[in-house]
Every structure is written in C-alpha cells, then in structure tokens.
Structure 1
Amino acid sequence: MNKILTVTALFCGLVLSASAQQNFKYQAALPKVDSTGFYRITLQPAFVAKAKADLSDVRIVDAKGNFIPYIQAGSLPQRNQKSFVLFNQIDARLSTDTGTTFIVENKTGLALDRLWIKLQNTAVQRKVNLVGSDDLKQWFAIQEEIPLQEAVVNSEGTYMQSLSFPASNYRYFKLLVNDKNKAPIKFLQAGIYTEYAATLNYAPISPVQLTRVDSNKTSYITLKLNDNYQVNKLHLNITAPKYFKRDVSVYQVIGRDKQLLSEAELNSAKGTDLLIAAKSNQLIIQINNGDNLPLTISSIDAYQSAESLISYLDDKQSYRLLTGDQSVQAPEYDLKFFADSIRDNTPQINHETVSQNAAYQTKQPAKAGRDYTVFIWIAIVVAAGLLLFLTLKMTKEVKKKAEE
C-alpha cells in the first residue's frame, strides 16, 4: 500500500511540475558549478527583457523539474552598520493617497537601487508601491507590487527589510501600501548603506537605434530597442556646444501611450547621464533648447542596473532559469530568513543565451484551439481515482479478514 501511495504521489508531482514549467516561455541554462554552495547569478539584459518588470516570474529549476529557492541580491543584510544613512521622514500625505503612506527625503543626491526600511514586527502580508518625486507634487512610478516580508523571530520588536528597484535619483521616495480596509503596518525609518549606493553597476543594452527631429526650440530623440528592455540609465554623448544647461523630459512608449518617466537637467558641469526606470522597447527624449542651437549628440548609450539572484546550487546538478509567465506571483522561499549565512564574496556566474522554453513550445502548439492542459488534469484525476479504488479494495479486504 505504501508503495502504491509513493508511486502515485511521485506521478502527480511530476505531472504538476511539468504543468508548471510549460507556462514559462523562455529559459537560459546555467553553467555547472565547481562546488556546492551559494552563487550569485547575474541576470543579463536579454533575460530581464523577457521577464515581468518586478522579476516575479523568474524561477530556477533543476534537472528533475524542482524549483530551487533564491533571494534577490539586493535583499542581503549589511554588516557595517556605521555606513547607514538615515533619511528624514516627510509629512506630505496627499488626499488622493489611500492606505498607509511613508515618505522620506534622499538628501544624498545619490542614485539608489535599494532602500532599507525598518518596521514594527508584523506577521501579515502586504504589498507596497514605490514612487519618486523631486517636488512632492508630481510623482513617478518606480516599482509596483513589492512584497513586504514578515518579521523574522526576534526579541527586538522591529526588523529591517531591503526594497530593490531600478536605480533612481529622486529627492523624495514614497511607499504606498494598499491595506484594503485592514489595520495599517507601522514604518519606523528608512535609509541606505552608502557603500551600496556609491557603487552601482550597469550592464549595457544594444543595439540602440536613434531618430531625431529638431523643431520649434525643442529636440525630440526617439530610441528604439529590439526588445522590452529594463532601462535604468541613458548616457548622452554630447560633442557640442562646450557649455550647456537644458531641461529634458524622458518618456516611454507602450503601445499607443506615452508615459512620462522623468524630468531632469542636462548640464555640461554635472554630466550627461539620465537615470530612469523604464520597461519598454521605445523611449523619447525631449530637450528644451530655448534660444540655443540644438545639442550635437553623436550617440546615446542605454544601460540596465545590475540584477542578480543568490541561490544554493549543487555541483552534481544542472540548472536553468525560467521566465515569461505573466500569471505567476513572486515566490516566497524560506531562504530569505537565512540571508546572514551568505558571504560577501559569493562566487558569480552568468547564464547562457536566452531561448524558447522547449516545454512551453510542446504544450503550446501553433494549431489554434489545441490545449493540452485538460489531458494533464485527466491524468491527475485518473491517478487519484486509481488510488481511491486501491484504497477501497484494500479496506474491504482488511474488513473481510477481520470478520473471518
């Protein structure tokens, strides 16, 4: 009887695992690791382009089809508490805000790709939207639906969590929690570790196609990419004039809509980098020239801020990355509670070329109207029915022997 249960459970597990994997459109193989341990997996722009904006559909899977736990590298705790810079809290709640709001001021002027928040211990599940502003009036989206962790068991009554997001240099950051008529959670403070903020890394995106129109004291530059890349920095290579100071707006194009991402300044004395948080294949840069001649721009370089996962990998296993399932939510792994076990010098590996997930191609044939999901569930029902039949038969035989 135990063997029957084991075989049936294994069969159902394999079927469900295969069913889960078929929903991910893309994959990228990971190289075999030299020894078992924690590894930092760098996500290249070509892979991130296929994922959801918050990377919630990224999975690591082994050769047996099991999902492997990971945490985003930005969630690692910092050991040097002296480098922590506390941000001032701002009381500027708008009438349009709903739920819990928490606003802090970034006086450092540094570009940030993570924010550490301190909360009162809580065991509830909430999600937060992060927006940024330079004037406390006009707010721009940075990241949505960021899950807040539950408190780790401790005796302090408070805990810290890291929020990772595309690099942004807004002066103000606002956390918006949709409490849905539930009791609010309590934010205590927020800040950054300066050694992280000062050493942001970027990966180049290519190719970038440019078209330009100069009219009515304004320059419009359109950037076209060959995929929906995550773009966090634009570097404008300006060759003339020698001195300039121009207001600039950056938009992303999604379908027929044009969304304002950032309003900034191009200044010859401060550099020509524009920090944004975009997920698109088309961007528009609008430069206000006033009475000046248009800027001479030889090229524009696009970059994605560094994205990486940390996972415990076995040297006897082979692994793949999966992504491209818009229906899934961010996974919740126990590994987040053991982040202190991860060393600062974790070895880094890069995934291989992104390709179509073979399992997805098999389960999604080109012929319209064909859906194999029903056959999977039929197999599960048959297995469950077989188990029920064997169980009833076994019970009947046991009862018969007892009566004898």
Structure 2
Amino acid sequence: MMKSRIGWLLGLLISVQAFGQEFAFEAPIAAVSDSGYYRIALSPELMGQAQIDLSDVRVYDHTGEEQAYLIRQESAVSTQSLFKEYEIIDKAYKEDAISHLIFSNPDKRPIDNVSFLVKNTEVKKRARLSGSDDQENWYVIKDNYLLHAMQSQEETSEMKMLNFPLSDYAYFKLEINDNWRLPINILKVGYYDRQRVKGLTTSFDCPIAWQKDTLKISSIKVIFPQPMYMEQLEFSLSGEDYYLRSASVKAKRNGIDRKKNPYEYFESLASFELNSNSENVVAFNGTVVQELLIEIDNRDNHPLKVESIKASFLSKYVVCELLPQMKYDLKLGNQSLRKPDYDLKAFASQIPNDIPRADHGAMVDIRPAEDPAVVSGFWGNKYLVWFVIAIVGFGLTYISLKMVKEIGGRA
C-alpha cells in the first residue's frame, strides 16, 4: 500500500514537472562547414521571447543532447592596437660592416617611436637612427642605441621598439654596427596605432502604425508583430531645418491589479531631446517590447514628421562548438529554467573573440495546440500547478518519514 502511494505521488510529480520544463520556441542553427567554435548571432525576435538574461536558452543536437555554450556581447567601444607597416625601400646587410635599413614615412607623420620585427637572436649591437627628406642629406636623430634581448620564448621572432625625439622626416634610416659579427634579420618595420572601435550592433526597422499631432503634442505609435528586444532608437525626421524638442519613449506593459484583473499601462523608457544638430539616438536599458509610444512636445512649433525609426542593440551571441555533420537547434521560452552551469565558462578566455559567425533560422513556436477547456482549467493556472508540486513534495516527505519510523519500530 505504501509503495503504491509513493508511486502515485512520484508519477504526479514527474508529470507536473514535465509540464513545467517544456520549451516554447526553437530555431535551427545554420549548418557549418568546419568543426570548431562559432558565435551564433541572436535575433531581436528570439531575444524577445527569451528571458531577459537569456537563462532559458539551450543548444541541442539532433539526438537531443544538450551542448555547453557561452553568452558573449559586443562592447559599446573597445580599443584596438593595430600594427601598421612602413614601406622598406632599401635594406643592405653587410658582414663585418655597417648594415642599414631605410623606410619611408610618406605622410611625414610626426613619430617618436618605431617598432621592428626581428628574427630571434642572442647578440648585442649598437645602432643609429637618422632622418632625411630627400635620401641624400641625412641628419642624426638618436645615436648609440643598444639592441639586445631580441628573442621570444613563444615565437621565432620578437618585436622591439625604439623611442626617439619627435620627428617628421619623409625617410628614416636605421644603421646597425655589424663589425666582427653577422647581421641580424629584420622582417618588418612599423608602428602601433591605437583605435577606438564601436561594437557591432543588430538593427531593425520599427513599423510606425500612426502619428497624431494634437494640442501641441505629436504622438507616434509603433507596433511590432511580435515582442522584440532593443537597447536604443534612432529617429529620422523632417518638417523643419532647425528644431530642438523634448520627447519621451514608453513601452506598453500588461499588469494585474489587486482584484486579479488584467490591465494595460505604458512604462517610461527614456526622456530625451530631438535636435537638428545631432544624430537623434536615444539609449535605454535593454528591454523587450511589442508596442511603443513616442511623444514629442512641439510647444508653439509646427509638428515634425517622423519618417522612420530604427531600433538596435549591441549584438549578442551564443558561443558553441559545432560539427559539420550534426544539426543543432536553439531552444528557449521556459520561465522555470535557471542559467546553466557549464565547465566551459572556466575556459572562456581560451576561446578567441574572432571565431567564425553562424546564424540561426526563423524561430518556430513548438508549444502544443491549446485546448481552451484545459487552459481554463487546472493546467491553465500556474499557481495551482506549483501548489500541487508543493503538496506532492510534502506528501513524499511525510511518507518517507513514516516509513523510516515503521522500519525503526520493527527493529
């Protein structure tokens, strides 16, 4: 009797949990040609149906095996150091003599350092740097350089930097004293240029349903066919050459009042200014919306015409190892899931940022067709479902304790 009770409770618990672990959507990942790690760019539609922290996103292969992954996001601005080569126009290596290397600075860019890539060597040499605008008259810039420690433990060549007084000659000549020694092998000469690079964004057009201009306020309604994720809006306007207007953007939300009745309201996302001298971009915390309301305060001015609105966000990726012979799907839409805890996160720094990109296909709703009678009954009430889970849990605990007590009494 006791075993049958436990079996019944376990069966009910498993069925209830299975109900709560279903995914609502899936999207196929495009096939890849080579094995390795890929960054799968997430669409605004997919992110519009996932949890805001993407905790419910999972990757499965066609056998149903869950795959470990990382979430990565573009940075708003990053700094990159790019090596830019100078053209070497003359290079002469002479054993037991003075070797030289001449490189051009065609834009006469003022520089105070130069880097050169040299094949590994374990020698010390003296060098001199001079400059010229015609390659005939040379003027010394810095003398008596000591070149040493020109070797790398990881590569067969080493990058060395020479610092010198700021100069803007069209040509520079590096002379190296190779008396009584073989010359060193210089492969490249150049400089590191630090550049600020904007992160890649995913952008899409906002469908404008209507614009109404009344009582000095212009109201613009945007309605998407499905929830979309966004982090900023960019406006294109016409009507006046010069304008400076206060504006706000709000998102339509659904709420439940104290009497459990549903209602709608608009949540403010940002207040901003529209300025004819600016790009008219407004940023806000990442959010999911299906309907937007933009209001522009015209004061005593003629209304502006909103020609288009573009939404965007810093691109986000699922980073995962993919095989060319395997099919994969992204699955999402399960509010009960937490962020997965994979070993892969401990090795995130070992996966480069410039791995190949893969895309996913259209998102498909995989929820079973809903029976209105069922939806309005037991399974349609998530609070009742979790209440039953709690009752089953307490029941199992009670039965287990009772069995332990009975076994102890028999002993």
Distance 2:347 2:40 in 1: 18
CA contact (8 A) 1:204 1:304 kept: no
* TM-score between both structures, scaled by the size of structure 2: 0.53
Distance 1:203 1:240 in 2: 25
State the 1:46 CA deviation: 2.1
Distance 1:284 1:80 in 2: 36
CA contact (8 A) 1:210 1:223 kept: yes
Distance 2:196 2:236 in 1: 28
CA contact (8 A) 2:231 2:312 kept: yes
Look up the equivalent residue of 1:211 and give its one-letter code.
Answer: W
Look up the equivalent residue of 1:288 and give its one-letter code.
Answer: D
After TM superposition, the runs of 4+ consecutive aligned structure 1 residues lying more than 4 A away are: 18-22, 78-83, 193-196, 364-367
CA contact (8 A) 1:249 1:260 kept: yes
- Provide Cα deviations, 1:46-72, integer angstroms capped at 9, x if missing partner: 212221222211111112212211111
Tell me the equivalent position of 1:308.
Answer: 317
Tell me the equivalent position of 1:27.
Answer: 26
For structure 1, which runs of at least 5 residues remain unmatched after alignment? 1-14, 84-192, 378-404
State the 1:353 CA deviation: 1.3
Residues 21 and 253 (structure 1), Cα distance of their counterparts in 2 relative to 1, 3 Å cut:
closer
Tell me the equivalent position of 1:280.
Answer: 289
Matches within 5 A, 1:96-111: none
Matches within 5 A, 1:57-206: 57-74=56-73, 195=196, 198-205=198-205
State the 1:217 CA deviation: 2.0
State the 1:200 CA deviation: 3.7
Look up the equivalent residue of 2:296 and give its one-letter code.
Answer: I
- Provide Cα deviations, 1:282-309, integer angstroms capped at 9, x if missing partner: 1111111121111122232333442211
Tell me the equivalent position of 1:265.
Answer: 273
1:352 matched to 2:351:
no
CA contact (8 A) 1:44 1:203 kept: no
Residues 214 and 275 (structure 1), Cα distance of their counterparts in 2 relative to 1, 3 Å cut:
same
Residues 306 and 79 (structure 1), Cα distance of their counterparts in 2 relative to 1, 3 Å cut:
closer
Look up the equivalent residue of 1:199 and give its one-letter code.
Answer: G
1:336 matched to 2:345:
yes
Look up the equivalent residue of 1:71 and give its one-letter code.
Answer: L
State the 1:34 CA deviation: 1.5
* TM-score between both structures, scaled by the size of structure 1: 0.54
State the 1:365 CA deviation: 6.6
- Provide Cα deviations, 1:106-162, integer angstroms capped at 9, x if missing partner: xxxxxxxxxxxxxxxxxxxxxxxxxxxxxxxxxxxxxxxxxxxxxxxxxxxxxxxxx
Given the alignment, which residue of 362, 368, 373 partners 1:361?
Answer: 368
Tell me the equivalent position of 1:234.
Answer: 233
Residues 293 and 210 (structure 1), Cα distance of their counterparts in 2 relative to 1, 3 Å cut:
same
SS of the residue corresponding to residue 242 of structure 2 reads coil
State the 1:231 CA deviation: 2.1
SS of the residue corresponding to residue 49 of structure 1 reads helix
Give the strand-richer structure, 1 or 2.
Answer: 2
Distance 1:287 1:278 in 2: 21
For structure 2, which runs of at least 5 residues remain unmatched after alignment? 1-13, 83-193, 255-263, 380-384, 390-411
Distance 2:210 2:60 in 1: 41
Distance 1:351 1:200 in 2: 17
CA contact (8 A) 1:70 1:311 kept: yes
Given the alignment, which residue of 294, 300, 305 partners 1:296?
Answer: 305
State the 1:74 CA deviation: 2.5
Distance 1:337 1:20 in 2: 33
SS of the residue corresponding to residue 361 of structure 1 reads coil
Residues 234 and 288 (structure 1), Cα distance of their counterparts in 2 relative to 1, 3 Å cut:
same
Distance 2:27 2:57 in 1: 11
Look up the equivalent residue of 1:36 and give its one-letter code.
Answer: S
Look up the equivalent residue of 2:268 and give its one-letter code.
Answer: L
Tell me the equivalent position of 1:153.
Answer: none
- Provide Cα deviations, 1:78-113, integer angstroms capped at 9, x if missing partner: 997989xxxxxxxxxxxxxxxxxxxxxxxxxxxxxx
Residues 316 and 370 (structure 1), Cα distance of their counterparts in 2 relative to 1, 3 Å cut:
farther
Q: CA RMSD in A?
A: 3.3
CA contact (8 A) 2:41 2:318 kept: yes
Residues 296 and 261 (structure 1), Cα distance of their counterparts in 2 relative to 1, 3 Å cut:
same
Residues 52 and 41 (structure 1), Cα distance of their counterparts in 2 relative to 1, 3 Å cut:
same
Distance 1:221 1:340 in 2: 45
Distance 2:317 2:19 in 1: 23
SS of the residue corresponding to residue 73 of structure 2 reads helix
Distance 2:247 2:78 in 1: 39
Residues 79 and 314 (structure 1), Cα distance of their counterparts in 2 relative to 1, 3 Å cut:
farther
Residues 317 and 327 (structure 1), Cα distance of their counterparts in 2 relative to 1, 3 Å cut:
same
CA contact (8 A) 1:239 1:296 kept: yes
1:254 matched to 2:244:
no
Q: When the two structures are aligned, how many residues end up with a matched partner? A: 243
CA contact (8 A) 2:45 2:227 kept: no
Distance 1:43 1:225 in 2: 18
Distance 2:33 2:42 in 1: 20
Distance 1:366 1:295 in 2: 46
